[in-house]
A and B are shown apart, each in its own frame.
Chain A
Amino acid sequence: MDRTISRYLFFRTLYEPKVTFEVLAESDPSAWKVFSGYSVWLLLLPPVFSWIGAYNFGWRLGAAEPLMLATSTLTLISIAYFLTLLFGFYSTAVISRWMAATYGASSSFGRHAALITIVGQPLAIASVAHLFPNVFFNVLVMIPTMLWSMYLLYSGIPIALETPPERGMLMASSLVGWLLVAAVSLLGLTMGLWTAGLGPALGV
């Protein structure tokens, strides 16, 4: 990956996202280098935090007793979590590049991968909240983080992918549509796995 980009990607996105998007617009990074040098490490954070939190404290869903899971189940769930995030990252980057043709945006896959990583970065970092596995606390942390990520998506597309702001707004909304569907699919998939016996013991 271009050294300038990597310097910007890691920390500067958190406080100067627009500068990062401008730098990204002037480069054409390799998708593999973005992924291996940056994205995959961020994608590891949520499952690791969630494993540590759930192993030590158990998930608190509001009821008195925390939900403790067997170590093997917990590991299996964390691996599934990581694989799902991996799939989410890759599919979103692919869909973003696919949409680029419709919205007149750059078709550089590396740039799409970098943009999706920057957008997802706050969520990955905020997953530190999983260390305190209380569902409501996590919801409280994740909602403002998600709004920040949405802001990054809407403001980043026109700059980093070099398309007019209005077309960028349409593309961002289409991606939000995809991400909403992906989020709800994740919920549905989780319910299916629980019902199939992977996860908490349910009377079904």
Chain B
Amino acid sequence: MTTQQQYYQDEVVKRLVQFSVAWAVVAMAAGVYVAAELLWPTIDFGQPWLSFGRLRPLHTNGIIFGFGVSALMATAFYSVQRTSHVPLFAPRLAWFVCYAWQLLVLLGGLSLLIGWNTTKEYAELEWPFDIAIAVLWVSFAIIFFGTIARRRIRPIYISNWFYGALIIVIAMLHIVNSLALPVSLTKSYSLYAGAQDAIVQWWYGHNAVGFLLTGGFLGMLYYFLPKHAGRPIWSYKLSVISFWAFTYSYIWAGPHHLHYNAIPEWVQSLGVVMSLILLAPSWATLINGVMTVSTAWEKLKTDPALKFIVLSLAFYGLATFEGPMMSIRSVNVVSHFTDWTIGHVHSGALGWNAMITYGTFYYLMPRLVGTELYSTRLANVHFWLALAGTMLYIISMWAAGVSQGLLWLSLDDTGELAFGFRDIMASMAPYYGLRLVAGLIFLGGTLLMAYNFYMTTRSRTTVRVEPPIVDPAYGVVT
């Protein structure tokens, strides 16, 4: 009897990484442009599609759905095959998801530019796109869980638990939050109204941050960090405990986005308490990551990718501490509606999400095509640009945010607000200038990486890798 030779489906992984890098460049460029618009408002040239209101959702959707989700799909497909010791389930469906997702992001982005918008933050795309997202997400689930179901190794590795939670929870959040009554092809009305709408929206919004930008990327960390380091994870038990604690506590924290709003106070308080509890599982992962990498220091000599992962852990620690702190009401009353929030989001998005993704991509791309990275020097330059850009961004937004919070809560001798909104915003221009420089530096680094990958993979084919023989002690009995 002959058995057909099986190989991992890595071509689709490579394509998804390429799309992810392309979206990073496009969406970060959009971010730089809107940052410049805050400094020079007239550079929209009177064109509605170039206005801040339309470009800003393009920036956020491009980063989250284009750059982020493509990276998560690529790394989930890569790691689930290797941790299950089987090729991807339904490879044609994987190719369909790969291209259809890019088409969705492209058309969705264009729809935002022409002004279709549900006005729900991070869920701006109108109902036809929402249906397409749901269909593609379920397809993603079929591929991922189908691969796990066919696995030849008994344990389900921790990264797959995080990717699995990402897939299940995002499906739930997206479908519930997007329930709406369409009145035309381009317009729909949410099924929820008033305070309920706000609660559902921030249950979605916060957990999109939680399960996509945190949980999904933790899946990436738990697979690629030990691979990079050539060591097992420091404490597997701690990773499992932190997974369940993370999954349980994150889902309740959304109401902290709605402090001092028309929702019940006990709901706000519950959001604060769960946000503070969340610190424990977040930092359990941080400790696990730091201790894993601390034993693999020799690798730093030759591997620029590991530096990105090390630094991403520092910013992960910052962002997951800052978030719960900002949920405390006496801090939130000053920080909310200021640029501090924007700084916080970017300490996570640039420092954690982008850095861990860059580190992972620098690991993946040369291996996918079986060669060395085109230029380690360029990767090192990219590292310092990414660090400088992120630090400059955060510091300028901290200073701007604290100044704003102080100024628009200041009272004069008669008890009236001392400063007008317009004056305060006008005085923020210098900080916005610094932020623009920070964005340009970070984008410059991303462009260097794109060039490095182009030169690395140019005219090379994807290496074919066979699943290894499974140790019978760990194998699934079939």
Contacts and interface: CB of A to CB of B under 8 A. Distances in A.
Interface in B398-436: 398-399, 402-403, 405-407, 409-411, 415, 417-419, 423-424, 427-428, 430-431, 434
A166 B335 CA distance: 38
Given A192-B330, A201-B411, A203-B409, A184 B322 contact: yes
Contact of B297 (A63, A143, A170, A195): A170
B49 to A, nearest CB: 32
A14 interface: no
B407 A62 contact: yes
Contacts of A102: 291, 294
Given A139-B396, A143-B392, A192 B328 contact: yes
B318 A194 contact: no
A67 B412 CA distance: 11
Interface stretch (A24-32, A107-115, A118-126, A173-181): A173-181
A200 interface: yes
Interface in A127-143: 135-136, 139, 142-143
A37 interface: no
B331 A173 contact: no
Size category of the binding interface on chain B: 35 or more
A180 B395 contact: no
A139 B315 contact: no
B330 A196 contact: yes
A185 interface: yes
Interface string B287-306: 00011011001111100000
A62 B399 CA distance: 11
Contacts of A147: 388, 391
A173 B409 CA distance: 37
A176 B314 contact: yes
A134 to B, nearest CB: 10
A94 interface: no
Interface residues of A, number: 41
Contact of A177 (B313, B322, B340, B410): B313
Nearest to B344: A184
B301 A136 contact: no
B16 interface: no
Given A135-B399, A204-B333, A170 B409 contact: no
Given A173-B310, A174-B314, A180-B317, A202 B434 contact: no
29 contacts: A61-B427, A62-B424, A102-B291, A103-B297, A136-B431, A139-B395, A142-B395, A146-B391, A146-B395, A166-B298, A169-B307, A169-B310, A177-B314, A177-B315, A184-B398, A187-B340, A188-B328, A191-B333, A191-B402, A191-B405, A192-B328, A195-B331, A196-B330, A200-B406, A200-B410, A202-B406, A202-B411, A203-B411, A204-B333
Top 9 A-B residue pairs of the complex, sorted by shortest distance between their CB atoms:
A62-B427, A177-B314, A166-B300, A195-B330, A202-B409, A180-B318, A61-B403, A167-B297, A166-B297
Interface of A: 61-65, 67, 102-103, 135-136, 139, 142-143, 146-147, 164, 166-167, 169-170, 173-174, 176-177, 180-181, 184-185, 187-188, 190-192, 194-196, 200-204
Interface of B: 286, 290-291, 293-294, 297-301, 307, 310-311, 313-315, 317-318, 321-322, 325-326, 328, 330-331, 333-335, 340, 388, 391-392, 395-396, 398-399, 402-403, 405-407, 409-411, 415, 417-419, 423-424, 427-428, 430-431, 434
